Amino acid sequence: MKSEEKNETVKKDQSNFLRNWYVWIISMIGLSSLFLLVTFWCTNIFQDTILSSLIIQKGTTSFDFWERPPVKLIYKFYIFNYTNVEDFESGKANKLRVQQLGPYIYRETKKRVNVQFHENGTISYQEEKSYQWESGNPENEMVVVPNIPLLAAISYFRNLHITAKLLLNLGLSTLNIKTFLNLTVSDFLWGYDDNLYNILKALSSLQDPLPYERFGILVGSNGISKDRITINTGLNDMNYLGIIEKINGKSIHNIWGDEKCDKIYGTDGSMFPPKWINNYSTPLYIYVKELCKPLSFHFHEYGNVHGIPSLRYKMSVDSLKISSTDSCFCPKTVGHNASERKCPPTGTFNVSACNSGLPILISLPNFYGADQSLIESIDGLKPNETLHESFLDLHQFLALPMNGSSKMQLNVEVRRAIGMPYTGKMKDGMILPIMWYDNTLDVLPQKFINIFFDAHFVITIIERAFRWGSVLVFLSCICALSIKARNHCIHRHLPLCENVSVGNRLIEG
């Protein structure tokens, strides 16, 4: 009898032990799922952990990709060939006519060299670029283009004393200078010997030396840039990843004569702070040092690249328009009213202050989105939204470009001067289109496609699995503990069970 009671006691103790461990295990699983639930629903720890791999730190894959970008840029250059110069100068034609030639395609290879890390979470470097010819016949094809050194010289001397103008005019008469030049595309792009430019170079050496030995639209693009750029690595705050902090040690230029316009802000376009794409009303800013100005891109639509969801941002046609709030981008006039500013025509941006005083303006290709008078002043221009707009396709999570096209047109402004006949029939302030380019990302390597794919689909699946899985497990644990508690009190014939049963009946209706 005692043996049976002892065995029954042992079984009861074992049952209580197992029951207690069951409750303990369920409780621990429930607490763990609650922790995951709070973590994945109320914080960004998981996303921040993944995004931290984008921080530019030496010895990381992110740094290697940043220092030696494996994805190349493809440049397509289109040149405006002036086809009726003689007829225009003789009065047979009322307008100059252009013929768009190209594309002349080059592949850009970029490296970031002379890299130096700083203790404040920034990094300084210089860019080294080289260009490899891909398509077109730039060595043999000829183009008739405006003589930019001549127009620049006239623009500079027009505000000097009449004596200086006469001396320049006398010097030009000995050089057989022409307003339009007949050059090969290659010479026009990459540099040619010009007698006038050589004279200007010698004169400028006394005050502000011209930076290049030869004149060419892209003559300064090859090699190591003289500009030293400092950007944020994102180490201290991911919200500043890739943002340019300084150029040549300065966070504010002395170009426009106003701190608001002189402030450097934006990235170089190769990456963006992830927070910028969390709010679609927030524009992306790309600082273009050749323009001394940031350009804004605004969210347009959802898309996909290689089957990976993306966000498309477009550069607004208003990006180059100057409003009353940023009129400081208008150059100051020269002469008696030096404090006044003169704004260029709508849809163009005067960058002469940023480019050694050259009378250069930029616009969208074929004056797309610009003042209609600019389009009508030259025959042969055909602005088109699809062909001439700029856009970026960003990864929805990493904020890295997967595709994109940046288009910009170079123009020269005619500035007439008394006593200098070289501008002929061209009116003062007339804007002549020179060329435009389309800068696109090369085909993404499969390695990058895999990274972008994993960053979207794998991370999305894992995050959703943990989010909803934690909810399901937590609710399951609550139900299991509730059932266990109910069975326990029923087994013990506790009065509480009656209350539970009554409650259940009330709930069931």
Task: Give phi and psi for 260, each to the nearest 5.
Answer: -60, -45
**Token duo for residue 413:** 């402004």
Residue 174's pLDDT band (cuts 50, 70, 90): confident
Q: Looking at 17-21, 56-60, 210-214, which range is the least confident one?
A: 17-21
Taking alpha carbons only, the member of 146, 149, 73 closest to residue 405 is: 73
Q: Which of 433, 408, 294, 412 is closest to 352 using CA atoms?
A: 412
Nearest to 434 by CA among 74, 82, 86, 155: 82
What are phi and psi for residue 24, nearest 5 degrees?
-65, -45
For residue 502, the model assigns a pLDDT of: 42
pLDDT tens digit sequence for 373-401: 999 999 999 999 999 999 999 999 899 99
Residues 219 and 212: beta-carbon distance below 8 Å: yes
Q: Tell me the percentage of the chain whose pLDDT exceeds 70.
A: 80
Q: pLDDT band at 501, cuts 50/70/90?
A: very low
pTM for the whole structure:
0.84
User: Measuring CA to CA, which residue among 498, 485, 486, 492 is closest to residue 20?
Assistant: 485
pLDDT digits (tens, 9 = 90+) for 409-431: 999 999 988 777 788 889 999 99
Reported as a pLDDT band with limits 50, 70 and 90, residue 177 is confident
Q: What is the pLDDT of residue 421?
A: 79
Q: Give the pLDDT confidence of 120-143 residue by residue, as tens digits.
A: 999 999 999 999 999 999 999 999
| CA 213 centroid distance within chain | 31
The SS3 call for residue 187 is: helix
Total count of residues recorded for the chain? 509
Peptide bond into 103 cis (omega under 30): yes
Question: For residue 99, which amino acid is it?
Answer: Q
CA 125 to chain centre: 18
Dig out the tokens for 434 from the structure. 């020179």
* pLDDT tens for each residue of 296-345: 999 999 999 999 999 999 998 888 888 878 889 998 876 545 567 889 99
Range 448-459 average pLDDT:
82
* C-alpha pair distances (Å), 211 with each of 205, 240, 332: 10, 33, 24
Strand partners of residue 438: 76, 407
Least Cα distance to 380 among 97, 83, 145 occurs for 97
Strands 229-232, 96-117: pairing kind: unpaired
Helix residue ranges, H only, 212-340: 259-262
SS3 (DSSP) at 159: coil
CA atoms within 13 A on the CB side of 487: 8
Q: Which two tokens stand for residue 484?
A: 């266990």
